[in-house]
Structures are given as C-alpha cells and as structure tokens.
C-alpha cells in the first residue's frame, strides 16, 4: 500500500511514530517527508497487519502529531522490503523546521497559560465577591 498523510506530521516525530507502528504490526516498507509538508508511507504485509498499521498511524491521542487526512492506494506487493525504515532528508533543514515548530508550540502553550491565569483571576474575583456578599 502507498499512503500520503496530511496534517501536522512533519517535525513532530511522526516518522519515528510510524516506524513503531510498523514494528508492532509487522509490516515492511518506509516512511518519509515530502516537500509539500505531507508524509509518504509505503508498506507491505498481510491484509490484517496492514489494517492494524493503518489504524494506528492515525496517531489518535498523540499530543503533538495531528493527522488530518490519510489517502491510501492499494497495489500488489513487490517483496522488495525486508524491514521498515524512516527515511530522512537534509539534517540541517530538518533541525531548522523542528526548531520553528517547537517555537510555535511554545508560543501556543504560553498563550494558553496566560488565558488560564486570566480565567483563574476572574474566578477568584467572583468567589471573593460571593464570599463578601455572604458576610453582609
């Protein structure tokens, strides 16, 4: 099978995640990033193993990975793969992309923290008002 994955799947450890899925399901093939921001997977194995693999690569519940779409084409196996590998491109470019994503995630985390603190302050003020009203 050949699959293309869309979403937040580059720079977030998705290839390693997919490699783990392949190891658990027993399929062979590879996973690699494509220039357009998608991830390509090629996998061979038993139909049940491929079904298990495809279900798992959705990465549901993963905190940073966000698979939005998975397009799959099925074909006859070639038998060319003996294991599963995560293929990497230029290391410097990949490190830069991961650094930028880490910065974006940190900004989102700080924004969420600020929103939570503001909400806590509003809640505290309301509680103080209620407690004050109960004393009168």
Active site residue 124: no
Q: What is the C-alpha separation between 37 and 89, in angstroms, rounded?
A: 13
Q: Which of 8, 24, 32, 33 is catalytic?
A: 33
CA-based end-to-end distance of the chain: 72
Which residues pair with residue 73 across a beta bridge? Answer: 2
If we measure between CA atoms, which residue out of 81, 84, 100 comes closest to residue 92? 100
Q: Which of 8, 15, 87, 98 is catalytic?
A: 15
Active site residue 15: yes
Scanning the structure block, which residue is given the tokens 């880490």? 102
Helical (H) or strand (E) element with 25:
helix 14-25
Which residues form the catalytic set? 15, 33
């Amino acid at each position: 099978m050949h699959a293309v994955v869309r979403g937040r799947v580059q720079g977030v450890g998705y290839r390693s995640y997919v490699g783990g899925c392949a190891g658990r399901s027993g399929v062979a093939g590879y996973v690699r990033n494509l220039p357009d921001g998608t991830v390509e997977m090629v996998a061979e194995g038993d139909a049940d193993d491929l079904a298990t693999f495809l279900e798992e690569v959705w990465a549901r519940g993963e905190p940073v990975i966000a698979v939005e779409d998975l397009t799959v084409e099925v074909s006859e196996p070639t038998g060319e793969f003996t294991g599963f590998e995560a293929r990497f491109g230029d290391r410097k470019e990949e490190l830069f992309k991961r650094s930028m994503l880490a910065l974006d995630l940190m900004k989102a985390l700080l924004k969420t923290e600020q929103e939570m603190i503001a909400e806590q302050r509003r809640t505290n003020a309301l509680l103080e008002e209620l407690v004050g009203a109960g004393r009168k």
